[in-house]
Chains A and B, each alone.
Chain A
Amino acid sequence: MAAAPSIWVHGELAPDGSLAKISTEVATLARSLGEAGGRDVVGVVIAADPTPAATELARFVPRVLAVTEPATADHAAATIVGQRLAALIEREKPAYLIAGAGPEGRDVAGVVSALTGWGVLVNAVGVTWDDGPVVSMSVFGGKLTTTSRLTGDYGIVTVRPNAVSAEEGAAPGTVEPTAVDGELTLPQVRVVDRVEAAGAAAPIEEARIIVAGGRGVGGPDGFKVVEELAEALGGAVGATRAAVDSGWIPYAQQIGQTGKIVKPALYLALGISGAIQHKVGMQTAGTIVAVNRDPDAPIAEFADVVVIGDLFEVAPALLTALRARAG
């Protein structure tokens, strides 16, 4: 009997060509599903130079297909990667494709889904196996957790950052250079420039600790103490929409309904009231600590700890206490 169809991992690239952190988590998750379901787990990296990311991915899964696709060097990658993935899926007949739920993973999942007709279980915060992936996702801003499955025995799953902790496999896997023939029929979008933004940080969705500021921070200068605390904790800086709309901090740092959804181990909220539009982006954090002058702020109802006080007094005191502890 032929082996049951395999589980594929989309190996996403970080901007520097290395493997994106989310893919190490997706690969770890896929490996546990493969063990539970008796399925082979295969990574796929499609890039102008797939070798660095493929080699890294092979530390997590037993086999990685590395597809060299020169067009991604100067074109938007998702449409190209999605087409190549769909062609590979057609040829190799895996059952499932698991990708990150960030912008890249979503774009690729959308293209592959349209080309294959495969359904997508989105934004998994946990995946178990019961004759196929069973996905839990947090909906309505964390008010409910739903459990979903695919109706057929194939499909795509997108996984949120921090759903699992990345763990390498017992032994390094193999990297197999793989060719995919055929013309790229979808229009390619040219990248005419890549611009580094000043102060761009690691994606906040991946951060283990987030220190976030809201309207109470008062202005761009106020964010200095937020940044200092984030640095002292080894975390990332987040913000509310009010702070972003005021131009105090870039949109990439925004958490909430129209920003990022995050699930860090610690969310330290400074001067954030906790309005529903923000709450939906962060309430599944492991631990929430808030500093707010207003004891009636909504965040006081769902934080684990709330310090009632002036953030400009409490935050520096926190910095001092953290530094004293670090010795």
Chain B
Amino acid sequence: MRIVVLVKPVPDTASGGERLRPDDWRLDRPAVPAVVNANDEYALEAALKLTEAHGGEVVLVSMAGPGAPDTMRKALAMGAASGSLVTDDALAGSDTVSTARVLAGMLKDTEYDLVLAGADTSDGGAGVVPAGVATLLGLPYLSYAAKIEPDPDAGTVRVNRISPTGYEVLEAPMPALIVATQALGEPRYPSLKGIMAARSKTLETKTLADVPVADVPVGGAVATSEVIGSEAPPPRAATRVIREPADEAARQVVAFLAERRII
């Protein structure tokens, strides 16, 4: 099986340093170290497990800024075979419409049985791009997967989709696009061998001109939305610390909740 995983470099949330540029409110990417989006790592881990079980390879596809290759090497070190990246000044400030169109364009030239994507990103957080990519490519769309079971002989895939009351078992022909969740299992740490091997893996970098996007404009210049302001939320009041025996502490907490009319 050949599985494409959509990956996005995002600012490391653990750094706590994410910020917007003051002039255009776009994310200041160079200000913060980048990591592979955490939800994409679950997708990658699931893809690696599937190719270990069924044979084949995992390839990465990304649309990101010029610093992306370093981050993508980390994903290659986990075990992906190769990667393809589109990076272009014109794509800076792209909205989700453009992102879906460009990623769909990247996939047009790619052979695959499955496309896996993370549920959302820790920076934009939209969670609408995978559905957009599936729609543009006419792929069956199976979202919020807790379990993925392909049947390569039958050419179908089954997915347990998390629902509010449990899960739905979905079935579709391959190729299909699946949205992965953390329920698929912990991402592996790259081994030293994996890190060494990643250095020589192919990471193809394209510009927008190399990507077959349908004859509609894409990129920051045609963004359908814009950020017009940003402010820090009002600070929370100082923390009240209660150091009392349990009964007294509980009494004070209940009184506090009643005072705030929560109970």
- Beta-carbon contact of A305 and B253 below 8 Å: yes
Chain B residues with Cβ under 8 A from A310's Cβ? 246
- In the complex, chain B residues whose CB is within 8 Å of the CB of A186: 135, 138, 141
Query: Helix, strand, loop or mixed for chain B's interface?
Result: mixed
Contacts of A197 in B (CB 8 A): 165-167
How far does the Cβ of B137 sit from chain A's closest Cβ, in whole Å? Answer: 9
Q: Given the complex of chains A and B, what is the CA–CA distance between A79 and B237 in angstroms?
A: 45
A118 vs B135: C-alpha distance when bound (angstroms): 14
Chain A residues with Cβ below 8 Å from B173 are: 187
For residue B250, which residues in chain A have a CB less than 8 angstroms away from its CB?
314, 317-318, 320-321
**In whole angstroms, how far apart are the Cα atoms of A276 and B95 in the complex?**
26
CA distance A79 to B143 in the complex (A): 11
Question: Does any Cβ of B come within 8 Å of A177's Cβ?
Answer: no
Tell me if A110 and B100 are in contact (CB < 8 A): yes
The CA-CA distance from A254 to B119 in the complex, in Å, is 14
B130 surroundings in chain A (CB, below 8 A):
110
Q: Which residue of B lies closest to A110 (CB)?
A: B131
In the complex, whether B69 has a CB less than 8 A from a CB of chain A is: no
Instruction: Report if B115 contacts A (CB, 8 A).
Output: no
Write out the residue numbers on chain A whose beta carbons fall within 8 Å of the beta carbon of B183: 251
Render B230-252 as a binary contact track against A, CB cut-off 8 A, 1 for contact: 11110011011111101101110
Residues in A neighbouring B160, C-beta threshold 8 A: 195
A191-B168, A305-B253, A307-B244 given; name 9 further pairs at CB < 8 Å: A82-B131, A108-B131, A148-B227, A155-B224, A187-B172, A194-B169, A265-B262, A277-B14, A309-B246
A residues apposed to B, CB below 8 Å = 14-15, 76, 78-79, 82, 101, 103, 106-111, 113-115, 117-123, 134, 138-152, 155, 158, 185-197, 200, 202-203, 209, 233, 241, 244-245, 251-252, 254, 257-259, 261, 265-266, 276-277, 280, 284, 286-289, 295, 300-310, 313-314, 316-318, 320-322, 325
